[in-house]
Amino acid sequence: MNIVNNGAIELTGARVMVIDDSNTIRRSAEIFLLKAGCEVILAEDGFDALAKIADHQPEVIFVDIMMPRLDGYQTCALIKKNPRLREIPVIMLSSKDGLFDRARGRLVGSDEYLTKPFTKDTLLEAVRRHRPQSA
Q: 3-state DSSP call for residue 53?
A: helix
Band of residue 133 on the pLDDT scale cut at 50, 70, 90: confident
Topology of domain 15-129, CATH: Rossmann fold (3.40.50)
pLDDT digits (tens, 9 = 90+) for 66-112: 999 999 999 999 999 999 999 999 999 998 888 898 999 999 999 99
- Tell me how far apart the alpha carbons of residues 43 and 50 are, in angstroms, rounded to a whole number: 9
Name the pLDDT band for 3 (thresholds 50, 70, 90). Answer: very low
Lateral strand order in the sheet of 39-43 = 39-43, 15-19, 60-64, 90-94, 112-115
CA atoms within 13 A of residue 116's CA, in its CB half-sphere:
18
Question: How far out from the chain centre does Cα 52 lie?
Answer: 14
Residue 7 φ/ψ region, left for φ over 0, alpha for ψ in the -120 to 50 degree band, beta for the rest = left
Residue 61 confidence (pLDDT) above 50: yes
pTM: 0.91
3-state secondary structure 120-135: HHHHHHHHHHHCCCCC
